[in-house]
Chain A
Amino acid sequence: MANFSKSNVPQFSVDIYQNEFLPEGGREVNAIVTVTSTGGGTTGGLPLATHGPGDVPGSPAGAPGAAVVIMVDCSGSMDYPPTKMRSAREATAAAIDTIRDGVAFAVVAGTHQAKEVYPANGGLAVADPATRHQAKEALRRLGSGGGTAIGSWLRLANRLLSTAEVSIRHGILLTDGRNEHEKPEQLRAALESCAGRFTCDARGVGTDWEVKELTGIASALLGTVDIVADPSGLEADFRRMMETAMGKEVADVALRVWTPQGAEIQYVKQVAPTVEDLTARRTEAGPRAGDYPTGSWGDESRDYHVNVVVPAAGVGQEMLAARISLVLPQPDGTPRVLGQGLVRALWTDDMAASTRINPQVAHYTGQAELAQVIQQGLEARKQGDLDSATAKLGRAVQLASASGNDDTAKLLAKVVDVVDAVTGTVRLKARVADADEMTLETRSTKTVRVKK
Chain B
Amino acid sequence: MPHETVCPECSEPLEPDDKFCGVCGADLSAPRQPDAYELAPPDPAAVPEPPGGEPESYELAPPGRDTDTLPFGLGTADLPRARITDPRLDPSAGGPSASSPRCVACGMGDVDPDGYCEHCGHAQPRPRDHQEQELDGVAAVTDRGLRHHRNEDAFALATTALPDGTPAVVAVVCDGVSSAYRPDDASEAAAGTASGSLARSLARGARPEEAMRDALLVAAQAVTDLAAETPEEEARRHHNAPACTCVSAITSGKTFTVGWIGDSRAYWIPDDRSAPASRLTEDDSWAERMVSMGLMTQAEAYADERAHAITGWLGADAVELDPHTASFEPDEPGVVVVCTDGLWNYAESAAELASVVPEDARTRPLHCARTLVGVAIDGGGHDNITVAVLPFPAA
Contact = CB atoms under 8 A, between A and B. Distances in A.
Contacts of B149: 316-318, 346-348
Given A260-B117, A261-B106, A349-B147, A320 B123 contact: yes
Interface in B141-161: 144-150
B122 A317 contact: yes
A315 interface: yes
Contacts of B150: 318
Interface string A304-324: 000000110111111111010
Interface in B339-361: none
Nearest to A15: B233
Contacts of B112: 320, 323
B25 interface: no
Nearest to A318: B123
Nearest to B116: A320
B303 interface: no
Nearest to B148: A316
Among B114, B147, B150, chain A packs the most CB atoms within 10 A around the CB of B147
A421 interface: no
Nearest to A350: B178
A342 interface: yes
B119 interface: yes
B167 interface: no
Nearest to B109: A261
A43 to B, nearest CB: 22
Nearest to B124: A318
B120 interface: yes
Given A316-B149, A318-B149, A318-B150, A310 B114 contact: no
A81 interface: no
A278 interface: no
Interface in B56-97: 80-81
B253 interface: no
B147 A261 contact: no
Main secondary structure on chain B at its contact with chain A?
A: loop
B107 interface: no
B121 A261 contact: yes
A263 interface: yes
A260 B112 CA distance: 12
B167 to A, nearest CB: 39
Contacts of A323: 112, 114, 116
Contacts of B106: 261
Interface in A257-292: 259-263, 287-288
A158 to B, nearest CB: 38
Interface in A317-354: 317-321, 323, 342, 346-350
B121 A320 contact: yes
Contact of A313 (B109, B116, B122, B144): B122
Given A313-B80, A314-B80, A318-B150, A261 B123 contact: no
A317 B146 contact: no
A346 B152 CA distance: 15
A315 B122 contact: no
B385 to A, nearest CB: 13
A289 to B, nearest CB: 10
A349 to B, nearest CB: 6
Contacts of B146: 316
A314 B381 CA distance: 13
Interface string A229-271: 0000000000000000000000000000001111100000000
Contacts of A316: 81, 144-149
B124 to A, nearest CB: 9
B341 to A, nearest CB: 15
Among A263, A314, A319, A346, chain B packs the most CB atoms within 10 A around the CB of A319
A166 to B, nearest CB: 35
Contacts of B148: 316, 348
A311 B63 CA distance: 41
A347 B109 CA distance: 21
A310 B147 contact: no
A287 B117 CA distance: 13
A417 to B, nearest CB: 39
Contacts of A348: 147-149
Contacts of A287: 118
Contact of A260 (B80, B81, B121, B145): B121
Nearest to B114: A342
Contacts of B121: 259-261, 263, 310, 319-321
A23 to B, nearest CB: 13
B116 A319 contact: yes
Nearest to A17: B237
A122 to B, nearest CB: 49
Nearest to A311: B120
Contacts of A261: 106, 109, 119-121
Among B112, B123, B149, chain A packs the most CB atoms within 10 A around the CB of B149
A321 B123 CA distance: 10
A260 B80 CA distance: 15
Contacts of B144: 316
A323 B115 CA distance: 12
Contacts of B120: 260-262, 311, 319
Contacts of B119: 260-261, 288
A264 to B, nearest CB: 13
Among A262, A318, A323, chain B packs the most CB atoms within 10 A around the CB of A318
Among A311, A317, A342, chain B packs the most CB atoms within 10 A around the CB of A317
Contacts of A349: 147
Contacts of B117: 260, 320
A307 B146 CA distance: 28
Interface string A377-398: 0000000000000000000000
Contacts of A288: 119
A260 B149 CA distance: 18
A349 B80 CA distance: 18
Q: Which 8 A-B pairs have the closest CB atoms?
A: A260-B121, A318-B123, A320-B116, A320-B121, A318-B149, A316-B147, A319-B121, A346-B149
Interface of A: 259-263, 287-288, 310-311, 313-321, 323, 342, 346-350
Given A318-B149, A321-B121, 6 more contacts: A260-B120, A261-B119, A315-B147, A317-B149, A342-B114, A348-B149
18 contacts: A260-B117, A260-B122, A261-B106, A288-B119, A311-B120, A314-B80, A315-B147, A316-B81, A316-B145, A317-B123, A318-B149, A318-B150, A319-B120, A319-B122, A320-B117, A320-B123, A323-B116, A342-B116
